[in-house]
Amino acid sequence: MKFSIRKRYVIIVIVLLAAVAVLYAKAQYVVPIIMYHNIDENSDSSRLSVSPESFKTQMNFLKNQHYNVVKLEDLSGILKGNKFPPKTIAITFDDGYKNNYFNAYPVLKQLGLHATIFIIPALVGTDDYLTWKQILEMYESGFIEIGSHAMTHPWLPTQPKENLDSEISGSKSVIESHLNKETSSFSYPLGGFNKDVRAKVIEAGYKIAVATNPGKKYPKHDLFAMKRLRISSTSDNLLVFWFEITGFYTWIKEHRDKD
C-alpha cells in the first residue's frame, strides 16, 4: 500500500505525538504506596476505615495480579537504583491499631505479602492499639516491617526543636529496644513536615519517610517525603482500587486538587 507524501507526514506526526505522550506519562509515574488505618466494620462512617472483606479482596487482587509488594525499607533501595520492577507497590498502616493484627496480618501472612505498620510507642498497649507482644509476633513473621509514627503523634511542624528529638529519635530507640533491630522507616503524623522535621528524620538515621499529600510542587520520589494514597471505602470497587494503584493516580489527584 502506497501513501501520499501528505499521509506519510500525518503518520509521522501521529507516531511522534504518541511517543511524546508515552514519555510524558512515564515521567509522571509515582511508585504507589497505599495507606490504611483501621481494618474494621466502620467504613460507612469513617474514611480511615476499610472493611475486612474489602481489604482481603484488595490483597487477593495484588496477589493474583502478580504485584511486586515490598517493604518500605526495600523500596528505598529500589528508588536509589531508579529501576522499578513491574507493578512495584508498598502497603502501609498508620497508628498501629489492634485491628491490624486481627484483620490485616492474617491475610497478609496467608498471601505472603509484605507491609509496614507505623506505631506510636506511647500508645502501644492502650485501648484499641497493638501490644508489644503482637508487634513482635508480626515483625518476627518476616512479613511486617515496623516503623515509627513519632512517640506521641503530634503535629511535628509546630513542635519545639527540643521535642523533635524525643518524637523522632526517641521513638526509633524505643522500637529498636523491643525488636532488637534497626528501624528504617518513619511516617509523619497527619502527614505534617517541614525542612527542619525532614532534617531531623535524616539525622536520626531513618532510610525512608512517608508523608500523605505533599503536593505537586514537591518531588515525586523524595525518600524523606514519599507520597501515599489513602485507601477508603471508595476503593471497595476493585476497578477504583486498580486505577489508584496504577502509579499515575497521584499525578491526576495533584492536578485535580488545590495545593
- For residue range 72-98, list pLDDT tens digits in order: 989 988 887 767 788 999 999 999 999
In a shared domain, residues 22 and 41: no
Instruction: Quote the pLDDT of residue 6.
Output: 62
In a shared domain, residues 7 and 57: no
Q: Which amino acid, 248?
A: F
In a shared domain, residues 131 and 9: no
Interatomic CA distance for residues 129 and 107, integer angstroms:
19
| Residue 223 · residue 79 · CB < 8 Å | yes
Q: Which residues pair with 119 in a beta bridge?
A: 95, 148
In a shared domain, residues 36 and 25: no
Structural domain for 24, as ranges: 1-30
In a shared domain, residues 4 and 113: no
In a shared domain, residues 14 and 121: no
Q: What is the pLDDT along the chain (259 residues), one digit of tens a residue?
A: 555 666 555 555 554 444 443 344 455 588 999 999 999 999 888 999 999 999 999 999 999 999 999 999 899 888 877 677 889 999 999 999 999 999 999 999 999 999 999 999 999 999 999 999 999 999 999 999 999 999 999 999 999 988 999 999 999 999 999 999 999 999 999 999 999 999 999 999 999 999 987 666 766 788 999 999 999 998 999 999 999 999 877 767 665 655 4
In a shared domain, residues 215 and 121: yes
Radius of gyration of the chain (CA): 20
Interatomic CA distance for residues 38 and 95, integer angstroms:
9
- As given in the structure block, the three cell numbers for residue 179 are 525488636
Classify strands 115-119 and 144-148 as parallel, antiparallel or unpaired. parallel
In a shared domain, residues 198 and 82: yes
Instruction: Quote the pLDDT of residue 213.
Output: 74
Which residues lie closer than 8 Å to 55 by C-beta, 6 or more apart?
A: 36, 39, 103, 104, 107
Helix runs in the chain, H state only? 5-27, 52-64, 72-81, 98-99, 105-111, 132-140, 161-164, 171-179, 195-204, 238-244, 249-256
- Give how many domains the chain has, as a whole number: 2
Interatomic CA distance for residues 139 and 109, integer angstroms:
11
Q: 93-120: b or e for each residue (b if 16 or more CB lie within 10 Å)?
A: bbbbbbbbbebbbebbeeeebbbbbbbb
In a shared domain, residues 115 and 97: yes
Place of cell 532534617: 199
Per-residue CA distances from 151 to 69, 117, 134, 138, 240 (Å):
27, 14, 18, 20, 34
Q: For the chain, how many helices (H) and strands (E)?
A: 11, 10
In a shared domain, residues 208 and 235: yes
Q: What is the CATH number of the domain that holds 92?
A: 3.20.20.370
Question: Quick one: CA dihedral 68, 70, 253, 221, positive or negative?
Answer: negative
In a shared domain, residues 10 and 71: no
Instruction: Quote the pLDDT of residue 80.
Output: 78
In a shared domain, residues 66 and 90: yes
